[in-house]
Amino acid sequence: MKTGHGNDTRRSRVVLVSIHLARSPQNVPLGAACVASALKHAEATSASVDPVLVDAYVTETGTELAARLVALAPDLVGFSVYVWNRDLAVACARELRSLVPGLKMIAGGAEATADPEGLLGAAPFDAIVAGEGEGAGVAAIAELLARGAASEAAGVFVPGGAVPRATPGRAPPVDVVSLASPWLDGTLDPSPYGGALWELARGCPFGCAFCYESRGHRGVRRFSVERIEAELDFFVRSGIGQALVLDPTFNADRERAARILRLLRERGRGLHYVIEVRAEFLDRVQARLFSELACSVQIGLQTARPEVSKLVGRSLDPSLFIRKVGLLNETGAVFGIDLIYGLPGDDLAGFRASLDWVMALEPNHLDVFRLSVLPGTLLFDQADGFGMKRETAPPYRVLSTPTFPAADLDAAERLAKALDVFYIKGRAVAWFARALKALGAKPVAFLEDFADWAEGRGGLGTFATPVAVEDAQAAFLSERFTEPRQRKALPVILDLVRLNGAWGRALAEGEASELRLDHDPELLMGPEALELRAFAAAFPAEPRRYRIKPSRDGGVSIEGVPGRPKAARPTGSRPG
């Protein structure tokens, strides 16, 4: 080991690098921090290693990042490698080997787990750790520092391994209950990030073919409620704004889920939570508790076609899904749904039908993306049998299937972009269904028409700001509401567009807006405005200017200009 990091002790500096897509409250180096925390507590390394966390971004070059790392005088550098940062991690590792030939390097993370041999062939790593790093990764680091080489073991791949094709597999699962918390032991401070990635459990009992977990260790290992309570209190004291909960089957244990949700309600106010759930496990208690939190519930549907779900190892009962999501709508809980296009057995018509079906459920947001055939998944092994052509380098997107040719995938991608601009960025959830009802239109056809309309105005990418999206919505709707009965409803829908946009900016960006509305905002946000034409007939236009701004209690206030301020509404209330 080197000296030079202190006069009285011989400690090695281990620099653990996390390469993020962008600066964001959700881009937190949790994986690297878990390894750093384990290094601090492991018998072999606690007295001899100083772990250092480094954040990097994909906007850097390998040369730039390598120079930053060399300046830290590391004895070992570890990379957390994922689909989005593999190329940069490889480039940086090559540059480091050139600059400091004797430097030890190790890689872990999802890409290392999925393709350890490929990473060994791409960059001069001294070891690759497949699976959880707190056990096998810490052991490999200790060996590299002590004797310059790591042993090939379960989950550890080394250059020139004796049996490179008879791979050691993943590292054994660790006992999560015994792990120290990187949040609580001072390894990771959430304050600079404004948010936290919060592990409540590891593992998954399901076998979705497109997911890494389908090839991992089945079952769920849950962190103790005592640790969860302590971390929650820590997050609240830190003053961060949000926590992304990492537990893909959060609500599978209904009793535990309800207990944690009550804990968040009682001791975690001030935080916004993103929580992934399985729709089939939803119940009324959960729906009510979700509605009482500042949170967003995320549901991975992927496709509304049961026959397609079956091909990727999932089951789907559409009627049950509708009933379960209905519980969230009944309570007013905020929720989103994931869809994937390009799945085996699916086609453009099926994807369009799935999207129409999902939008009828009125989710607050939709994440729609092209399938990636990730190395290390069951689907990767089955891809040739399904006739799937796909990228051989990150992000491993599907390029065509026998039922979903390349041109159709491009059409689906265009539709997904139109959805993102008009419905998600345009914050249209509160009024979208009403607009379509007045027009007698289906969601997909409407969005495809919007994409066509946008092409004549520079394309969907032209609308880069929330206000630009609202202007586009207003212009497009003005051209669609052309029939005499529809024209009567146009001022109402335009008011809803502007009001919802201003409301969303006040809540999400803390931005105040002044706008002209033809109708009273309180009426627009009430049940009277559910039927646009009836509302227009009952409430003639009375133009007036209003100011919409964040209120001191975290909600939104509406004031007439001039006029007496309207009452503030609580955080999370949706207009329209």
- Least-confidence region, from 47-56, 384-393, 501-510, 559-568: 559-568
Check residue 57 and give its pLDDT.
97
Q: For residues 77-106, give the mean pLDDT.
A: 97
Instruction: Give dist(CA 140, CA 172) in Å, integer.
Output: 14
Q: For residues 246-251, give the mean pLDDT.
A: 93
214 pLDDT exceeds 60?
A: no
Closest residue by Cα to residue 550 from 497, 499, 505: 505
Contact 466, 425 (CB under 8 A): yes
| E strand or H helix that includes residue 47 | none
555: left (phi over 0), alpha (psi -120 to 50) or beta: beta
Beta bridge partners of 232: none
204 pLDDT exceeds 60?
A: yes
42 pLDDT exceeds 90?
A: yes
For residue 227, how many other CB atoms are within 10 A of its CB? Answer: 19
Instruction: Give dist(CA 190, CA 111) in Å, integer.
Output: 25
pLDDT, tens only, 119-130: 999 999 999 999
Residues in Cβ contact with 385 at an 8 Å cutoff, skipping those fewer than 6 apart:
none
Q: Comparing 26 with 495, which gets the higher pLDDT?
A: 495
Token pair listed for 549: 């701004």
Contact 514, 547 (CB under 8 A): yes
Split at pLDDT 50, 70, 90, the class of 9 is low
Residues in Cβ contact with 496 at an 8 Å cutoff, skipping those fewer than 6 apart:
430, 431, 434, 524, 529, 575, 576
Contact 268, 239 (CB under 8 A): no
Q: Using omega within 30 degrees of 0 as the cis cutoff, is the peptide bond preceding 124 cis?
A: no
pLDDT, tens only, 551-567: 887 789 999 988 544 44
Split at pLDDT 50, 70, 90, the class of 424 is very high
Residues in Cβ contact with 203 at an 8 Å cutoff, skipping those fewer than 6 apart:
173, 213, 216, 217, 218, 219, 220, 221
Q: For residues 335-344, give the mean pLDDT.
A: 98
Pairing state between β 295-302 and 335-341: parallel
Check residue 171 and give its pLDDT.
85
Contact 524, 575 (CB under 8 A): yes
Average pLDDT, the chain: 92
pLDDT, tens only, 75-90: 999 999 999 999 999 9
Beta bridge partners of 481: none
Rounded alpha-carbon distances, angstroms, from residue 451 to 28, 112, 115, 490: 35, 39, 38, 21
Q: For residues 470-476, give the mean pLDDT.
A: 97
Rounded alpha-carbon distances, angstroms, from residue 263 to 161, 196, 279, 387: 48, 17, 22, 48
Residues in Cβ contact with 310 at an 8 Å cutoff, skipping those fewer than 6 apart:
316
Question: What's this model's pTM, rounded to 2 decimal places?
Answer: 0.89
pLDDT, tens only, 348-381: 999 999 999 999 999 999 999 999 999 889 999 9
Check residue 554 and give its pLDDT.
76
Contact 525, 576 (CB under 8 A): yes
Give the phi and the psi of residue 270 in degrees, each rounded to 5: 100, -15
Give the phi and the psi of residue 153 in degrees, each rounded to 5: -150, 180
569 pLDDT exceeds 50?
A: no
Check residue 217 and give its pLDDT.
66
7 pLDDT exceeds 60?
A: no
306 pLDDT exceeds 80?
A: yes
Instruction: Give dist(CA 58, CA 183) in Å, integer.
Output: 25
Domains and CATH numbers, the chain: 12-157 (3.40.50.2300), 189-404 (3.80.30.20), 427-576 (no CATH)
164 pLDDT exceeds 50?
A: no
Contact 492, 541 (CB under 8 A): no
* 470 burial level (CB within 10 Å; 0-12, 13-18, 19+): buried
131: left (phi over 0), alpha (psi -120 to 50) or beta: left
Token pair listed for 18: 């996390």
Burial 407-423 (b: 16+ CB within 10 A, else e): ebbebbbbbbbbbbbbb
Contact 124, 168 (CB under 8 A): no
Check residue 215 and give its pLDDT.
62
Q: For residues 488-511, give the mean pLDDT.
A: 94
Pairing state between β 556-561 and 544-550: antiparallel
Closest residue by Cα to residue 437 from 486, 392, 497, 472: 486
